[in-house]
Amino acid sequence: MDKNTFKQEIKDYTARGGKFAFVFGDIRLPVIYHEALNMLAVKMPAHEVFVPVDYSRDLGDNLDVLMNKLLEKYPQLTD
C-alpha cells in the first residue's frame, strides 16, 4: 500500500456514505486525516490525539492504532 492507495481507500469509504468518526454511546468523535502531515487525529476538548499514518497498513489498521491511543488517553470513553 502507498499514500495514493490509502487516499483512495478514504474516498471509497466516504463514497459509500461512511463517516470518519468513533462513536461511544452518545459521544461522536470525528476522525481527521491531515494529509500534509501524514496524520490521523481526533480533536478532543483539551488537545488532538494523533498518530502518524503507516502507509504499509490499510485504513482499518491505522484507525485501530488511533483508537488504541485515544482509549489509552481517555479510558473513561469505554465506561
Tens digits of residue pLDDT in 6-25: 889 888 888 888 778 999 99
| Residues above pLDDT 70, as percent of the chain | 100
Tens digits of residue pLDDT in 46-70: 889 999 999 999 999 999 999 999 9
Interhelix angle 3-15/59-73, nearest 10 degrees: 80
**Where in the chain does DSSP place strands (E)?**
21-24, 27-34, 39-43, 48-52
The Cβ of residue 23 has, within 10 Å, a number of other Cβ atoms equal to 9
- Euclidean distance between CA atoms 18 and 41, whole angstroms: 17
In the predicted model, is pLDDT for residue 79 greater than 80? Answer: no
